[in-house]
Structure 1
Amino acid sequence: MTDEQLQQLVERISLDIFHKPFAHQAIFNKRLRTTGGRYKLSNHFIEINPRVVDLYDEEELVGIIKHELCHYHLHLEGRGYKHGDVDFKQLLGSTNSPRHCKPLAERKTNSRILHIYRCMACGCEYQRRRKMDCSKYRCGKCEGEIIKVE
């Protein structure tokens, strides 16, 4: 899908669902990482993450466009356009727009090496990302001596 096709789709959705014209620009922005789209207050552009088109169907794309158009139309009307505003929540409901998009970035697993320590008295285990000097610390439960396990 090109930027021109996206522009036409946004204009059509705006007229069909909101019954108001979309008079600004809609573009793809590949620098967006975790969000499906955004509405820019400064220039009234709507930017869409191109990964939405690659990963999901057109229904998800339309949902993201409707969500951003809610921000757009409410902001231009001077009403509450932020996620927590009542006007925004009502418009989301009346247009059947999603509150959030599906995840776009895979969650990174924490691959840092964990250091495991154990209390010699009560057996309580402690996991740490950084090494610690066992001679400076005691168990928080029984004040027993701590040793490094792994």
Structure 2
Amino acid sequence: MEDSELQKLVEKISNEVFGIPFKHQAIFNPRLRSTGGRYLLKSHNIEINKKYLEQLGRQELIGIIKHELCHYHLHLEGKGYQHRDRDFKVLLKKTGAPRFCNQLPEVKKKRTIKKIVLYKCTKCNLPYKRKRQIDTSRYVCGKCKGRLEKVDESFVN
């Protein structure tokens, strides 16, 4: 699907579901990573993440478009267009748009592997488990103020 096809699809959904024409631009933005799409407040354009179409299909894309059109139409009408606003939640239910998009399969794979770094105090041997590495020259044991040393670094599913 190209940008021109996306534009036509957004215009069609806007007319059929909302009964209001979409008068701005809808494009695929390859730089989007953590979101399915976004509505730009200043230009009123909508950007869509193409990976959602490729990996999750057309129905997911339509859900994302409906969601972004909810932001679009509410903002132009001067109503509450943010996720926390009541107007937004009501319009989502009315149009059948999802509040959040599904997670991409490639993102799920990356988040399942967790890194754990194990440190221990050189004086009292108290163990410390951390998700991130710490600077052992800056931090000391909370119990005895002894020096910390890195013992192990492991990856857990």
- TM (norm. structure 2) is 0.79
Residue 125 in structure 1 maps to residue 96 in structure 2: no
CA contact (8 A) 2:140 2:148 kept: no
Report the RMSD for the aligned CA atoms in angstroms.
2.6
The alignment of Structure 1 onto Structure 2 pairs a total of residues equal to: 145
CA contact (8 A) 2:118 2:127 kept: no
Residue by residue over 1:83-126, the C-alpha shift from the partner in whole angstroms, topping out at 9 and shown as x without a partner, is 11110111011111111112236245565x834215765x6411
Identical amino acids, percent of aligned pairs? 48
Q: Could you tell me which residue of structure 1 aligns to residue 13 of structure 2?
A: 13
CA spacing shift, 1:149–1:10, aligned 2, 3 Å: closer
The residue correspondences of 1:22-37 to structure 2 (distance < 5 A) are: 22-37=22-37
Q: 1:130 Cα shift?
A: 2.6
Query: In 1, Cα distance between the equivalents of 2:8 and 2:148?
Result: 65
Query: In 1, Cα distance between the equivalents of 2:42 and 2:59?
Result: 28
CA spacing shift, 1:78–1:149, aligned 2, 3 Å: closer
Secondary structure of the corresponding residue to residue 97 of structure 1: coil
CA spacing shift, 1:44–1:115, aligned 2, 3 Å: same
Q: 1:131 Cα shift?
A: 4.6
- TM (norm. structure 1) is 0.82
The residue correspondences of 1:27-66 to structure 2 (distance < 5 A) are: 27-66=27-66
For structure 2, the 5+ residue unaligned runs are: 152-157
Runs of 4+ in 1 over 6 A off after TM superposition: none
CA spacing shift, 1:71–1:119, aligned 2, 3 Å: same
Query: In 1, Cα distance between the equivalents of 2:7 and 2:150?
Result: 59
CA contact (8 A) 1:116 1:148 kept: yes
CA contact (8 A) 1:118 1:125 kept: yes
